Amino acid sequence: MKYQIKHELKGRMRLHILQKLTLTELDKLYCSLSDKSFVSRCKVYAPTNDMMLEYTCDRKNVLQFLTELHPSDIIVSESSLAAVTASRELNAEYKSKLLRKTAAHAVNKIVLPLRIRVIVLAVKTARFVWKALRCLAKGKLEVPVLDATAITVSMLRRDYNTAGSVMFLLDIGEILEDWTHKKSVSDLAGSMSLNVGKVWLKTGEQSVLVSASSISEGNEIIIRTGSMIPFDGIVTEGDAMVNQASLTGESTPVHKNEGSTVYAGTVIEEGELTVCVKNAAGSTRYEKIVSMIEDTEKLKSEVESKAEHLADKLVPYTFFGTLLVWLITRNITKALSVLMVDFSCALKLAMPVTVLSAIREANHYGITVKGGKFLEKLALANTIVFDKTGTLTKANPIVNSVVPFCELSPDELLRIAACLEEHFPHSIANAVVNAAKKKNLVHEEMHTKVEYVVAHGIKSTIDGKSVLIGSYHFVFEDMGTAVPLGYEQRLLSISKEYSRLYMAIDGYLAAVICVEDPLRKEACDVVEELRKSGFTNIVMMTGDSKHTAGAIAEKVGVDSFYAETLPEDKAGFILREKAKGNTVVMIGDGINDSPALSSADVGIAISDGAAIAREIADITISADDLHGIVTIRKLSTEMMKRIHANYRSILAVNGGLIALGVTGIAPPTLTATIHNASTIGIGLTSTKKLLYTFP
């Protein structure tokens, strides 16, 4: 790619692309660069063919990468491209609306003769009056009635400047509110788009792990418990319960079997399906999410709803105040000062804009928030529950050793374990698979169907022998596995500092896989920062042993911990805490965390965790750094502070304007103009960043 550096600072540069690119090529360029690990931030300016890049690697490497880049050859997923294209088109649409509205207002006020201007204003007034009449027809005395009354009275008094200014400012406020709302929804939908890298392709009697991009229409793929369905298709084999909440809003999983239609982005909660791919692109996922978010009430926080209800409730009082001032003073000008200034417009604009702006800002930090009410709950929360594995500990634990309890070698036992574990997305399973890869232990599909038992383990059959892999509770207590004679002491001698994965073959213990699960380097700091932010009870819950859990809990500094817990134990603890009046946050990454994530006031999932966990969670943070939890806590707290500050500002400004109008210091024209200007000002202020340091 040919380019010219226009401006440069350390770690940041602005480039002018010398070759003219189409809008699609610019969108692809943005998608491609945004996905690079060395790019922290990227912006593309279509009108000028410029690009801004913030990077973390060596400058020479960036320049070399850009030089070798060919925009026409860039390949990105259709869902990612759809999100970027929609965002760009949305911005262009609303910028155009603002320019047209401002230009039309200027022409009406400066160029048009008075008679024509009055006719134009009368036509516009009719639109506001029609809204008011519809509102009254429903038996409601709400904001549209107040707006229409103020405009109509101004027109009747031949105060055309005031009437025009009021309508202009109301229109601008509506455009800004709509823009902010749709932009936040678009950003949220884009971050929720599909992120499936590989899938199991069915080839004859076997399944092969391949890149999702290589799948074409007509291919058959296998999707198992806890995995996201990456493409629209028809079930050709299997039986499963599918969570379709992300697309349909259904609260319960839907049964799918042979002949059923399944959709991209839904998640298998239980069972296994073989699906014939119908739509390999899967690009409709973005549009479906946008529609779902726009239709749902999830985006509204309680404080937003209260603001809207309060705004409508204040309307009768504004009318009463207008009448009262007129009765006392018999001065229509002073009475109009009350009518021209009301609290409802600012309340209805500022609160939703603040919440939606906070959701949009969260996306800059790689955090997906599915609704404003979850930010409000997070700001009020006092109890936080952490899962251990893959959450407080690293997302990629490693196998320390394999202890054999049979004649097979450790490598052969690891090969068997990896062959089974590769089918299920969990950090411990990944550790086993990665350990086999490092040793170049190539394994064929030697087993029959693999069955996953949530929070316990997996079972299958190899050469007619049953094979189990899982926790001590599952392998020994549930399945009745025995320790071979003469190996009892070996089992007792295994260090308790490691997490253990037990494998049994034909009813006897065959191996213990010792997994080292290092604590995340930032975990201690994050726990301490969360405590300073107001959490009074920080808990860790894990299915791991007491010894392993205790060691981690002591290092990280939680207030209490619970070991050897089942999914229902985590959910039960959260429900008991909520019954005590506590507001509870749950953070997890696995299939077994899903019931707890669903039970909590706010469920936070790790982005590279199981798909079902991300689907159920209310907030998803990046897997790279737990500081995302601290960031979203600060963001939610600052959001609530801004909302309360907005309340105070609205009360002070509008109360002051009413006082100035009633005392005759300021005429209605001036109070109306200042009121509308202050409303837009508060609305625009609400769109500003809540936090001032982007990553």
Q: Is the pLDDT of residue 615 over 80?
A: no
CATH 1.10.230.10 fits 198-281, yes or no: no
Nearest Cα to 373, choosing from 430, 418, 320, 306? 306
- Least confident piece of the model among 324-333, 527-536, 599-608: 324-333
Residue-averaged pLDDT of the chain: 80
CA distance 520 to 503: 27
Q: Can you give the pLDDT at residue 49?
A: 85
Can you name the residues that pair with 53 across neighbouring β-strands? 13, 42
Q: Is 57 helix (H, G, I), strand (E, B) or coil?
A: coil
CA distance 382 to 367: 21
Mean pLDDT of 21-42: 80
The 3-9 sheet, strands edge to edge: 3-9, 12-17, 50-55, 39-45
Strands 220-224 and 198-203, sheet pairing: antiparallel
Q: Thinking of the domain 3-76, which architecture would CATH place it in?
A: 2-Layer Sandwich (3.30)
Mean pLDDT of 570-574: 91
Q: Can you give the pLDDT at residue 445?
A: 63
The 10s digit of each residue's pLDDT in 669-695 is 677 677 767 777 777 777 788 886 544
Q: Is the pLDDT of residue 111 over 90?
A: no
Q: Can you give the pLDDT at residue 694?
A: 42
Q: Is the pLDDT of residue 297 over 60?
A: no
Q: Is the pLDDT of residue 289 over 60?
A: no
Q: Can you give the pLDDT at residue 82?
A: 66
Sign (positive/negative) of CA torsion 49, 55, 59, 62?
A: negative
Task: Write the class of the CATH domain 398-516.
Answer: alpha beta
- What band does 560 get if pLDDT is binned at 50, 70 and 90? very high
- Least confident piece of the model among 313-327, 428-442, 458-472: 313-327
CA distance 457 to 366: 32
CA distances for 340 relative to 304, 343, 344, 350, 664, angstroms: 24, 10, 11, 18, 14
- Least confident piece of the model among 44-48, 284-288, 384-388, 520-524: 284-288
The 10s digit of each residue's pLDDT in 374-429 is 888 999 999 999 988 778 887 567 899 999 999 999 999 999 888 888 776 666 78
Mean pLDDT of 567-591: 89
The answer to whether the CB of 279 falls within 8 A of the CB of 320 is no
Q: Can you give the pLDDT at residue 622?
A: 77
**What is the separation of C-alpha 98 from the centre of its chain, rounded to a whole number of angstroms?**
29
Task: Write the class of the CATH domain 368-394+519-621.
Answer: alpha beta
Domain ranges (residues) in the chain: 3-76, 91-189+298-355+637-685, 198-281, 368-394+519-621, 398-516
Q: Can you give the pLDDT at residue 504?
A: 94
CA distance 605 to 595: 12
Q: Is the pLDDT of residue 323 over 80?
A: yes
CA distance 416 to 408: 10
- What band does 214 get if pLDDT is binned at 50, 70 and 90? confident
